[in-house]
A and B are shown apart, each in its own frame.
Chain A
Amino acid sequence: MGSVEDVRTAADGELMRAVAREDEAAMAELYRRHGPAVYGLAQRVIGEATMAEEVLQDVFVRLWRQPERFDPGRAELRPFLLREARSRAIDRVRSNEARVRREDRSSRSEPPGGGDDLEREVWAMIRSEKVRDALAALVPAEREAITLAYFDGHTYREVAALLGEPEGTIKSRIRLGLRKLADALDRAGLGTGPS
């Protein structure tokens, strides 16, 4: 079992099999491919670059040491890594130091996901009008619930308490919002279904 011939064109699953054989080049490619998203999400959740890099490093070191934790038959790699990143970022946010930094950030900037800045941020994803259209398919209440849960690290129960809404309403709103987002991306031909 040699190394992957062309890591740049290999599928994630193939690279993960190589990582299980301790192939550093495959790992470097996975880092190059998925690191920005992992780091971006960690930064968004934590609001601070140093700890976000710690999360980035943790996620990839763990992937290297325990590749069997990812089951390519059950999931795509990117969502798996983002879930890991979010979880570890939330752990840090919940430490006192992180909370202080985050509150300081909040006092200096608008709440995430709150308004017209979304268009600029969407441009940051290769100016994809298709994704912008998909996000626009969400009503503000759905986007707010998803943003509070995903980027701000709240459970749906906490989101319900924050917004003064019944838990069942928030649970449904999150599901409906994600369904609409996925539908809109499908219609835009971005292929959100499992491959």
Chain B
Amino acid sequence: MSAAMDPHDDAELLGAYALGAVDDDERARVEDLLTRSPEARAELARYEAALVALTDAEAPAVLPAGGWERTRAAMLGDDDPASSADADADGLAPVLPLPELRLPRRHRRRVRRGPAAFAAAATLVAAGLAVALVIPRDGGSGGLRRAAEAALTADSSRTGVLAGDTVSARAVVDAKGTGYVFGDDLPKLPEGRVYQLWSLDGSAPVSLGVLGDRPGVVAFATGGEVRKLALSVEAAPGVSAPTNPVASGELA
């Protein structure tokens, strides 16, 4: 009994306390120690910072689609999450509505007619994954390719090359935050595998879109400043955290 009150014993609990792995009595004792001991507070702060790194490494996640809207609605007691003022707060690239890309009207029609693409996109949205707009390598009307090439030559754009051992692709993000990947040289993937694009700027990778198995020019929305990008090869329809990176690079 008396040993349980030993301050050294309480200090020995600091690690378990940081993990939340103590009972109520022990928690109270450690918190009492923390009020009295700057050394204990400093030790705990170091453990907590280490756990933040461990969490980021062991439990990376992409926020659920629409999560901020639902959270905001709950915060405000609002039943209509669609009224969110800041849908970008998810940190997710939104599924690109075609008008935002200002595609030529005829191209919008062409893409919208693709039921398979729509079905795939719906599946991905349901899975909480961002979806990039993928233009096949034969280019369709070429409108998006021209937009991508224009972005590549604009002074205000940031460009880079995503390079790996066996693949590489050029990337550019224009001043408005619309990004493009030139995936013409990416090898076609076997059935059931897809390329997925990631932002590496935060504490965990954020999916910018699933690019399909043979991307040509791909457009994506960044929803904020993106500097580090990576490509991974994943099982279709995509994943919430990368498992098989194949290329990465920085925009400058």
How many chain B residues sit at the interface, stated as a range, is: 35 or more
A-B contact count (CB 8 A): 226
- Whole-angstrom distance from the CB of A28 to the nearest CB of chain B? 4
Task: Tell yes or no: A98 within 8 A of B by CB.
Answer: no
A192 interface hit (Cβ, 8 Å): yes
Is the beta-carbon distance between B51 and A150 smaller than 8 angstroms? yes
Which of B22, B48, B63, B75 lies in contact with A64, CB distance below 8 A?
A: B75
- Complex alpha-carbon distance, A128 and B54, angstroms: 11
Is B51 in contact with A79, judged by CB distance below 8 angstroms? yes
Dominant SS at the A interface? helix
Which B residues, 177 to 224, have Cβ-Cβ distances below 8 Å to chain A? 200-206, 224
- Residue of B whose beta carbon sits closest to that of A150: B19
Residues of B within 8 A of A65 (CB): 75
Answer whether residue A17 sits at the interface, using C-beta atoms and an 8 A cutoff. Answer: no
* Residues B55 and A123 in contact, CB atoms below 8 Å apart: no
Q: Which residues of B contact A159 (CB under 8 A)?
A: 21
CB pair B74–A40 under 8 Å, yes or no, is no
A137 to chain B, nearest CB (A): 11
Q: Knowing A120-B243, A182-B50, A185-B49 touch, does A57 contact B128 (C-beta < 8 A)?
A: no
B residues bordering A, Cβ < 8 Å?
12-16, 18-23, 41-43, 45-64, 67-68, 70-72, 74-75, 85-86, 88-91, 128, 200-206, 224, 228, 230, 241-243, 245, 248
What are 27 A-B pairs at a CB distance below 8 A? Answer: A24-B86, A28-B89, A32-B90, A53-B67, A60-B75, A61-B75, A75-B48, A76-B52, A121-B60, A122-B58, A125-B204, A126-B202, A127-B230, A134-B53, A150-B19, A150-B51, A168-B12, A171-B12, A171-B16, A174-B15, A174-B16, A178-B18, A178-B19, A178-B46, A178-B47, A181-B50, A193-B46
